[in-house]
């Protein structure tokens, strides 16, 4: 199910310089794209920075029409067909777009939000592995075309890895020298194993990106630990304790910023720093950015693409002090 | 020394029900504790994840009144590490379903104070509604 196979573990966080076909870098590529609801509201800066940096890399993300919320989380109940319907509708929208546009668009749906990625991939995998269930759901969704099983779901980070991080470095006009960045994965990019985009115990994909942008990689053992997810709704202080552990461990290793690919991780690690400070007055705040914001900064893009005004802990003072962002 | 543990008829039926909803081989757990050691929410829980599965194995229905199953964040840390290949996140989901299928909600979204509710992104609210309401 993984579109790219990792033959060996890359311990080094140096740039990924696996050979890439030249045509993949020189021509523009169009992908169907699923934003999910949170990227249209509190995480608008995630979408803006992603679309702008993708365009610079020659990747056009085309939003699928009439998409709906995927439901955030997968049902963990055996044979729960009903909860596959919402994710599947989006996959069918993608299938239609691919059919309409013929060969000019990729047959892989690009996602940005980790939780959408996980949910869409789980449904896609379930339906590909269980033809009887697919048939039953196809029959049930009588107003839709049947899903033929030909769509793949890929996270934007996987597209970057597949094209080679050198292609990213080539577009860097503002190398992030002197900036210490830690990658945070949380759960949904990595687990379960057959759904994840990288090694669940030793992921490197975001570290390779950080290096490609010229920043220093800070490793932290808490990068794979859950931030508490939707528990933030029922017990925000329990989540604040998890955020405290995740953030302070990264800080102890020297991190000045943390990057993530999930609007829920971002909320729990960034906005919940308010609750962290209530419980731990000695806590020093630390900016949490989407990985695409870090890319936009290194690509020298402007405020429209950076969208720092939506970050709860404002990264601008730090970035200005480091000479990475022009003072206004 | 052989130790014999008794499981009641109702206990057996309960175990079979959770096994059916989760699709997991609950009796395969040998109580190694890896899940509890990996769980980010364990420190907030009243019983650990490995106790959750042990109680279920033994058909002890009081597991349904523990806080633990509601504190599981479905993070799959236990899922990827269990040496017996058990997906504990599915067992916690099955336990929650026993309550949710009686149309008993675990949280009241409307009862969250308005300023806090306004702060929460959709991704948090939709996720919580999916896991905590029927
Ligand atoms: S997971 Fe979230 S961001 Fe993704 S579509 Fe659903 S609510 Fe939205
Ligand atoms: S880290 Fe937290 S929000 Fe992010 S994917 Fe995991 S549970 Fe989700
Ligand atoms: S990790 Fe698996 S075998 Fe070990 S206690 Fe947990 S569920 Fe049982
Ligand atoms: S899935 Fe649930 S029980 Fe398992 S480690 Fe995560 S929070 Fe703990």
Of B70, B112, B130, the CB nearest to A72: B130
A290 forms beta bridges with A260
List residues near ligand 3 (CB under 6 A): B 29-35, 50, 53, 82-84, 86, 88
Number of structural domains chain B divides into: 2
Residues B96, B114 share a domain: no
> Is A312 in the B-facing interface, judged by CB distances under 8 Å?
no
Q: Residue B97: helix, strand or coil by DSSP?
A: helix
Residues B131, B66 share a domain: no
Residues A255, A202 share a domain: yes
Average pLDDT, chain A: 93
| pTM score | 0.90
Residues B129, B114 share a domain: yes
Q: How far is A2 from chain B (nearest CA, A)?
A: 16
From the CB of residue A258, how many other CB atoms can be counted at a distance below 10 Å? Answer: 25
Q: How far is A111 from chain B (nearest CA, A)?
A: 15
Tokens of A102: 């013929």
Asked whether residue A8 is assigned to any structural domain, the reply reads no
State the residue range of the domain holding A298. Answer: 165-321
Residues B84, B19 share a domain: yes
Residues A173, A80 share a domain: no
> Which residue of chain A has the CA closest to B118?
A42
CATH of the domain at A40: 1.20.1050.140
Q: Which of A121, A137, A157 is the last residue of a domain?
A: A157
Q: Residue A22: which pLDDT band, with cuts at 50, 70 and 90?
A: very low
State if residue A69 touches ligand 1 by the CB under 6 angstroms criterion.
yes
State the residue range of the domain holding B43. Answer: 9-102
Percentages of chain B per state (helix, strand, coil), in multiples of 5? 60, 0, 40
Indicate if the pLDDT at residue A15 is higher than 80.
Answer: no
Residues B110, B98 share a domain: no
Residues B115, B97 share a domain: no
Q: What is the pLDDT of residue A25?
A: 45
Residues B68, B38 share a domain: yes
State if residue B49 touches ligand 4 by the CB under 6 angstroms criterion.
yes
* Chain-centre distance for alpha carbon B27: 16
Residues A315, A171 share a domain: yes
Residues A286, A150 share a domain: no
pLDDT per position in chain B (134 positions), as tens?
A: 677 778 899 999 999 999 999 999 999 999 999 999 999 999 999 999 999 999 999 999 999 999 999 999 999 999 999 999 999 999 999 999 999 999 999 999 999 999 999 999 999 999 999 999 98
> Could you give the C-alpha distances from A25 to A29, A164, A212, B9, B13, in angstroms and in order?
9, 9, 16, 65, 60
Indicate if the pLDDT at residue A21 is higher than 90.
Answer: no
């Amino acid at each position: 199910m993984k579109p790219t196979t990792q033959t060996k573990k890359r311990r080094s966080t140096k740039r990924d310089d696996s050979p890439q076909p030249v045509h993949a870098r020189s021509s523009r590529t169009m992908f169907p794209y699923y934003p999910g609801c949170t990227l249209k509201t509190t995480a608008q800066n995630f979408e803006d920075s992603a679309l702008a940096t993708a365009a610079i890399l020659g990747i056009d993300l085309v939003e699928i029409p009439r998409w709906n919320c995927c439901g955030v989380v997968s049902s963990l109940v055996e044979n729960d067909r009903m909860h596959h319907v919402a994710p599947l509708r989006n996959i069918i929208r993608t299938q239609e777009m691919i059919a309409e546009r013929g060969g000019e668009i990729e047959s892989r749906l690009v996602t940005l939000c980790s939780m959408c990625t996980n949910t869409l991939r789980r449904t896609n995998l379930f339906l590909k592995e269980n033809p009887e269930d697919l048939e039953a759901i196809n029959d049930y969704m009588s107003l839709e075309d049947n899903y033929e099983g030909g769509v793949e779901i890929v996270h934007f980070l996987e597209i970057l890895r597949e094209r080679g991080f050198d292609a990213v470095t080539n577009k860097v006009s503002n190398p992030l020298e002197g900036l210490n960045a830690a990658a945070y994965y949380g759960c949904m990019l990595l687990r379960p194993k057959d759904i994840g985009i990288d090694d669940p115990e030793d992921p490197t994909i975001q570290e390779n990106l950080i290096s490609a942008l010229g920043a220093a990689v800070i490793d932290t053992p808490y990068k794979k630990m859950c931030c508490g997810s939707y528990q933030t709704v029922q017990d925000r202080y329990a989540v604040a304790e998890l955020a405290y552990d995740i953030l302070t461990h990264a800080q102890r290793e020297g991190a000045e910023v943390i990057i993530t690919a999930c609007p829920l991780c971002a909320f729990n690690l960034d906005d919940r720093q308010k609750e962290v400070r209530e419980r731990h007055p000695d806590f020093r705040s630390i900016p949490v950015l989407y990985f695409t914001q870090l890319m936009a900064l290194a690509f020298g893009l402007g405020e429209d693409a950076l969208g720092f005004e939506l970050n709860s802990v404002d990264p601008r003072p730090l970035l200005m002090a480091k000479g990475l962002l022009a003072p206004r | 020394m052989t130790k014999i543990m008794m499981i009641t008829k109702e206990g057996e039926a309960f175990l079979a029900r959770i096994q059916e909803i989760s699709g997991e081989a609950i009796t395969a757990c040998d109580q190694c504790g890896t899940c509890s050691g990996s769980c980010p929410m364990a420190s907030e829980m009243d019983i650990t994840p490995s106790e959750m599965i042990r109680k279920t194995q033994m058909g002890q229905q009081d597991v349904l009144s523990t806080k633990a199953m509601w504190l599981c964040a479905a993070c799959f840390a236990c899922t990827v590490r269990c040496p017996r290949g058990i997906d504990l996140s599915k067992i916690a989901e099955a336990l929650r379903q026993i309550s949710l299928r009686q149309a008993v909600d675990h949280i009241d979204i409307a009862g969250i104070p308005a300023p806090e509710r306004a702060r929460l992104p959709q991704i948090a609210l939709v996720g919580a509604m999916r896991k905590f309401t029927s």
